Amino acid sequence: MSQPLILVEIDSSVALVTLNRPDALNALSPEMLGSLAETLENLDRDESVRVMVLSGGQSVFAAGADIKAMASASPVDIYLRNTRQLWQRLWALDKPLIAAVNGVAFGGGCELALGCDLIVAGEGARFGQPEIKLGIMPGAGGSQRLAKALGPYRAMEMVLTGDPLSAPEAHAAGLVNRLVADDQVLAAARELAAKIAERPAVAVRLARQALRYGVEHSLREGLEMERRNYRLLYDTADQKEGMAAFIEKRKAKFKGG
């Protein structure tokens, strides 16, 4: 029987999702991306889950889109595969997604990490967009998200040379939230996830939504979204509880509504 491409483990309100194609360094075939999108969407709808962690296992995050599945493709083949829609489903999730990166996050693997909300990386991890060495360019957000995350000059160098950033370099550049020993990546990602999972769930989702929206839109539009979500939170029980607890000098008991 063939192994599942995606593994899921739920502990408390944190879901750990692991890419499981180690023989091909988790190369993202359309099938793998489809399974990933479906899995994450199901977890996004699961009320018992607050935060998702995405890992590629202990030695690799993902070595990119599946080159063997693309080598002889025509533009129409690529269009008909519609992996664009699969990527958009990943970017449309509503709950926080933390990338836990060991080893290489190259090409589509780097783009997968960049599509997450937070990145925890091991000291031996590397982030790169090597597509230029294959005669193509990033096609799943790399040229846009890297420029926003690192600034256009560093991103341009990465995209035009194909040379990766080491995890310490990525951390210094602001791309990595937590830099830890390689064998501590999952523990650190879980710890970060557990902390966010304890926060009022609706506030977490609306704050995340405003922040992500702001990165993709103008400041004026982002400010509007921020204000709308901010006002909406005054309709949650957790806002009443959070402020009452502050005034009564006690620890808040959030219910997630």
Q: Which residues contact 213 (CB under 8 A, 6 or more apart)?
A: 221, 222, 225
Please tell me which residue in 56, 108, 115, 122 is annotated as part of the active site. Answer: 108
Query: Rounded distance, CA 55 to CA 192, Å?
Result: 14
Please tell me which residue in 111, 141, 188, 197 is annotated as part of the active site. Answer: 111
Of 96 and 103, CB closest to ligand CAA: 103
Look at strands 97-101 and 14-19 and give their pairing: unpaired
Instruction: Judge whether 31 counts as a catalytic residue.
Output: no
Query: Rounded distance, CA 142 to CA 62, Å?
Result: 14
| The Cα angle at residue 155 between residues 152 and 161, in degrees rounded to 5 | 130
What are the residues binding ligand CAA (CB under 6 A)? 24-25, 27, 63-68, 104, 106-108, 111, 130-131, 134, 138-140, 142
Of 134 and 245, CB closest to ligand CAA: 134
Instruction: Judge whether 111 counts as a catalytic residue.
Output: yes
CB of 113 to ligand CAA, least distance (A): 12
Please tell me which residue in 37, 62, 63, 65 is annotated as part of the active site. Answer: 65
Q: Which residues contact 80 (CB under 8 A, 6 or more apart)?
A: none
Nearest-CB residue for ligand CAA: 107
Instruction: Judge whether 108 counts as a catalytic residue.
Output: yes
CB of 115 to ligand CAA, least distance (A): 11
Q: Which residue has the tokens 């609706």?
A: 202
CB of 157 to ligand CAA, least distance (A): 17
Strand partners, 119: 99
Q: Which residues contact 12 (CB under 8 A, 6 or more apart)?
A: 194, 197
CB of 82 to ligand CAA, least distance (A): 13
Q: Is 223 helix (H, G, I), strand (E, B) or coil?
A: helix
Of 163 and 198, CB closest to ligand CAA: 163
Instruction: Judge whether 131 counts as a catalytic residue.
Output: yes
Strand partners, 105: 62, 127
Of 87 and 254, CB closest to ligand CAA: 87
Of 62 and 118, CB closest to ligand CAA: 62
CB of 31 to ligand CAA, least distance (A): 13
Q: Which helix (H) or strand (E) holds 29?
A: none
Please tell me which residue in 109, 113, 131, 203 is annotated as part of the active site. Answer: 131
Reading the block at residue 142, the tokens are 């790399």
Q: Which residues are identified as catalytic?
A: 65, 108, 111, 131
